[in-house]
Chain A
Amino acid sequence: MHTILVLVRKDFALLFRDKVSISLTFLVPFVLIYLFGQVFHVNSKDPGPSGIPIAVVRQSDDPAAARLVEALQAVKPLRVVTEFVNPDKSTRPLAEGDLRPLMRADAFRFALVIPADLIRQDGIGIHLRTYSNPRNEVEAQMVNGILQRTLFSSVPELLGRSLQARARAAVGGERLDRFNDAVAASVARTFGGDAADIRARMAAGSFGLGGAGTGVGTAQPDRPAVRDFLSSLVKVEDIQVAGKDVKSPSATMLVGGWAMQFLLFALTASATALFSEKASGIFQRVLSSPATRSDILWSKFIYGAILGLVQLMVLFLAGQLLYGIEIGPQFPHLLLVCVVAASACTAFGMLIASVSPTAEAARGISTFVILVTCAVGGAWFPVSFMPEFIQKCSRLTLVYWSMEGFSQVLWSHASLAELLPTLGRLAAMTAALMALAVWRFRRGRIFE
């Protein structure tokens, strides 16, 4: 153990000797998160992007449709466009037929159509069409989330009305009225309250069936397709239920992914330092002493994990300072996630170094693998955007589980017990990657 500590201390001595890399170690996370926040218009008072244009076409005269438009207009990150401006500057309400040409001209990238048959008669749910040009995946995801949240929180009665309409079609108006009367009476008896009032609220549909969901289909400009509303239920839950008291949701959500990408690059670079030590013959000196190959590898691992941990913490701290990401009471849990995430990234870097013949090759291989796993793992845009089979692959990446850990801690304030499965997965990945790396190093030439 003493040997390993000597070697770890050596790596830190080298790091501290190098003013450039030490400042990069601490500065880069800061700069990164600052730029990142600027790009995505994150700040502590105003979460989410501001003024993303969204066209709204209202074909329904239902008062609920009007309320939905008002609600969207009240959402700060959106700029709702409802009018078409003619060349002579006169205006008229937007029509669905205007959407494609305008979207092709990039006047806006998202549009919502509230059709006349807003309340579906043929099934449970409400009927909406969205058009999107998800040129910026992050933006698209945000708009999608905002739309669903607005729908869900501002016009909940739409859903109840839809249920009522469905029931009326199925059982007939008279029987439904009788059923509603009976329910209202029994609710009033059991929980107190006025049966007539309850009955009126049921008729209006607003009896808070929160769990049944609303439907927002997503359509590409060229292939409108309305998705089954139940499939997007989960997304509604995600955005509405978790993170509702997080101050800076968009920042919190995305910082983790960027942190992981940064960390993977940094720690792979530190693992490839093995090659320069080999080239200088230092391994000969070290290995002719009582130190072993394992000592060298584990010292690199410990060094990398500590370095990664520090960088992650700096990153989140910067997030707190610049964008109000709340760490506070979550600190111990965040620290745990950061420890396993940094360890996993280090193990990844060591594996890359162990399978690469040269430092250059390691850089090439790692760039490719890191970019792919970051994309697949959800560091760039939400995993739910990707096809089913890729989503399965996502769960094999350490990026995915690290981000999961971060969001569990910062987003849903998970307890230690809730966190354990994620921590366990990351630890298992670390162990597997390290085992492979050590095996490869033992067989490889790096110490010869």
Chain B
Amino acid sequence: MSPPSPIVSAKGVVKRFGPVTALDGVSLDIAPGEFFGLLGPNGAGKSTLMSLISGLKSLDGGTLNVNGEGAAAGSAGARRSLGLVPQHIALYTDLSAEANLRIFGGLYGLRGRALEGRIDSVLEAVQLADRRRDPVKAFSGGMQRRLNLAASLLNEPRLLLCDEPTVGVDPQSRNAIFEFLKERNRAGLTIIYSTHYMEEATRLCSRIGIIDHGRILALGTIDELLARLPFEEEIRYPSGPATAALAAELAAFGEVASLDGTDRFRPRPGYPLSSFYAITERHGLAPRLFTSQRPTLEALFLQLTGRTLRE
């Protein structure tokens, strides 16, 4: 059995804004049913890629097919079966929730009973049915985010593009959005989710592309990505005069990197942690200074770029 044809297929995609090359040869395939994470810092090119996939902008190079049938991004067919959740709250905040949904549903040719049915269903799904007549500007940030999401589901898309949909969202709404998206994904919706929070990507996505400066630096499942790190554990402690001697001694047993006032010690594979604690004790450093971490996407990003995701 051959694998299903990808719902998004990018080959060498280039997008420039004047002198800025926002996407510099992006190639990736996304299979139907995937929950794909696009992880990268601000300015990496996530939104640009999203807008190319949704056909808002034209490519300067490469090919980009959407919707599995080789339809070019932006074609009528591709747009009809796609939902974009913009990074900003793209709603008419003076209008009520349902008035907004009527407008956006109308753009997909929905009307009458069918439209009202879809509005009921998406409002129910994001738990805003009881606030449907209130103007959007009276909503909390989290509620607006949920409605922003709901508005992108009116046309029952096959592919949902979420561009940092949890920015400025309270934890409760955030969880609600996560659970909702996971549930939709289980029901078969393909989702591309961009974020600069590695926790979100780790929690939600089955496959992740790490993007920086318009290039995909790494692509794979979490396990595949983390396997690329040459260590299994990372120990962090505050860097300073008190720990300078320790860092010098540890360098013999692995790699020590200092970043943002924190030293990160990555022991060589097989290095026993017992001897690490023996050394710290000798330096008179209390155990609570040290935290041990499994390798993370953050660490991978650091490894790949020498920077942190939030820089």
Q: A18 at interface (Cβ–Cβ under 8 A)?
A: yes
CB distance from B259 to the nearest CB of A (A): 34
Any chain A CB within 8 A of the CB of B88? yes
Kindly state the separation between the CA atoms of A287 and B76 in the bound complex, as whole angstroms.
11
Most buried by A among B84, B152, B155: B84
B242 at the interface (CB under 8 A from A): no
Tell me whether A2 is interfacial, beta carbon within 8 Å.
yes
Which among B37-45, B92-100, B196-204, B233-241 touches the partner chain? B92-100
Given known A13-B95, A13-B103, A280-B88, contact A285–B108 (CB-CB < 8 A) = no
Q: Which among B54-62, B173-181, B205-213, B260-268 touches the partner chain?
A: B54-62
Cβ–Cβ contact B108 & A14, under 8 A: no
Q: Is A3 a contact partner of B91 (Cβ separation < 8 A)? A: no
- Contact A290–B80 (Cβ < 8 Å): yes
Contact A280 B95 (CB under 8 A): no
Residues of A within 8 A of B109 (CB): 2-3, 290
* A89 contacts partner chain B, Cβ-Cβ < 8 Å: no
A74 at the interface (CB under 8 A from B): no
Q: What's the minimum C-beta distance from B102 to chain A, rounded to whole angstroms?
A: 8
Q: Does A219 contact B (CB under 8 A)?
A: no
A159-202 CB mask vs B (1 if < 8 Å, else 0) is 00000000000000000000000000000000000000000000
Name the CB-closest residue of B to A285: B90
For the complex formed, measure the closest distance between the CB of A273 and the CB atoms of chain B, giving whole angstroms.
Answer: 11
Contact present for A284 and B84 (CB under 8 Å) = yes
Min C-beta distance of A109 to chain B, whole Å: 51
Beta-carbon contact of B103 and A280 below 8 Å:
no
**Does A212 count as interface, using CB distance less than 8 angstroms?**
no
Contact flag A284-B94 (CB < 8 Å), given A2-B106, A2-B109, A448-B56: no
CB neighbours (8 Å) of B87 from chain A are 281
Which residue of B82, B99, B103, B106 contacts A288 across the interface (Cβ within 8 Å)? B82
Let me know if B56 and A289 touch, CB within 8 A: no
| Chain B residue nearest to A295 in the complex (CB) | B107
**For chain A residues 1-36, which have a beta carbon within 8 Å of chain B?**
2-3, 6-7, 9-10, 13-14, 17-18
Asked if A286 is at the interface (CB within 8 A of a chain B CB), the reply is yes
B92:A10 contact, CB within 8 angstroms:
yes
CB distance from B194 to the nearest CB of A (A): 14
A264 and B90 CA atoms in complex are apart in Å by 29
A2-B109, A290-B76 in contact; A281/B99 too (CB < 8 A)?
Answer: no
Which residues of chain B have C-beta atoms less than 8 A from A14's C-beta?
92, 94-95
Would you call B132 an interface residue if the criterion is a C-beta within 8 Å of the partner chain's C-beta atoms?
no
Quick one: closest A residue to B107, CB to CB?
Answer: A289
Main SS of the interface on chain B? loop
Point out the residues of chain B lying under 8 angstroms from A17, CB to CB. 94-95, 135
With both chains docked as a complex, state the minimum distance between the C-beta of B247 and any C-beta of chain A, in angstroms.
Answer: 46
Query: What distance in Å separates the Cβ of A198 from its nearest Cβ neighbour in chain B?
Result: 78
B88 touches A281 (CB 8 A): yes
CB contact list, B63-118 vs A, under 8 A: 76, 79-80, 82-84, 86-95, 99, 103-104, 106-109, 111
Question: B107: which of A3, A13, A281 is its contact (CB, 8 Å)?
Answer: A3
| Contacting pair A284 B107 (CB below 8 A) | no
**B51 contacts partner chain A, Cβ-Cβ < 8 Å:** yes
The distance in angstroms between the C-alpha atoms of A281 and B102, with both chains bound, is: 18
Residues of chain A lying within 8 A (CB to CB) of residue B106: 2-3, 6, 9
Alpha-carbon distance between A73 and B147 when the two chains are bound, in angstroms: 74
Q: Chain B contacts of A282 at CB under 8 A?
A: 90-92
How far is A447 from B88 in the complex, measured between Cα atoms in Å? 15
B residues 133-152 near A (Cβ < 8 Å) are 135, 151-152
Within 8 A of B (CB), among A269-318: 280-282, 284-291
Counting chain B CB atoms within 10 Å of each CB, the highest count among A3, A14, A290, A291 belongs to A290
The chain B residue with its CB closest to the CB of A287 is: B56
CB distance from B101 to the nearest CB of A (A): 12
Closest to B51 in A: A284
A282 to B80, CA, bound (A): 17
Give the CA-CA distance A364 to B163 in the complex, in Å: 35
Say whether B57 contacts A288, CB under 8 Å.
Answer: no
- In the bound assembly, the distance between CA atoms of A290 and B154 in angstroms comes to 13
Contacts of B135 in A (CB 8 A): 17
Q: A280 — which chain B residues lie within 8 A by C-beta? A: 88-91, 93
Are B56 and A288 closer than 8 Å at their CB atoms? yes
Q: How far is the CA of A447 from the CA of B51 in the complex (A)?
A: 11
Question: Smallest distance from the beta carbon of B154 to chain A beta carbons, Å?
Answer: 9
- Chain B residues in 8 Å Cβ range of A10: 92, 103
Instruction: Kindly provide the distance from the CB of B26 to the nearest chain A CB, expressed in whole angstroms.
Output: 18
In the complex, which of the residues A13, A14, A282, A289 has the most CB atoms of chain B within 10 Å of its own CB atom? A289
Are B57 and A448 in touch, CB under 8 angstroms?
yes
Q: Are B103 and A290 in contact (CB under 8 A)?
A: no
> Bound state CA distance, A13 and B93, in angstroms?
12
Chain B residues within 8 Å of A281, by CB: 86-90
Q: In the complex, A169→B16 CA distance in Å?
A: 86
When C-beta atoms are compared, the residue in chain B nearest to A2 turns out to be B109
Q: What's the minimum C-beta distance from B158 to chain A, rounded to whole angstroms?
A: 14
Q: Which residues of B contact A285 (CB under 8 A)?
A: 84, 86, 90, 104, 151-152
Q: List the A residue with the shortest CB-CB distance to B157.
A: A288
Residues of B within 8 A of A286 (CB): 104, 107
- Residues in A with CB closer than 8 Å to B91 are 280, 282
The 3 closest A-B pairs by CB, nearest first: A6-B106, A281-B88, A281-B90
- Besides the contacts A285-B84, A287-B54, A288-B83, what 19 more A-B pairs have beta carbons closer than 8 Å? A2-B109, A2-B111, A3-B106, A3-B109, A6-B106, A9-B106, A10-B92, A14-B95, A17-B95, A17-B135, A18-B94, A284-B51, A284-B54, A284-B90, A288-B56, A288-B79, A290-B108, A448-B56, A448-B57
Chain B interface (Cβ < 8 Å from any Cβ of A)? 51, 54-57, 76, 79-80, 82-84, 86-95, 99, 103-104, 106-109, 111, 135, 151-152, 155, 161
11 A-B contacts (beta carbon < 8 Å): A9-B103, A14-B92, A280-B90, A282-B92, A284-B56, A284-B84, A285-B84, A288-B55, A288-B161, A290-B80, A291-B107
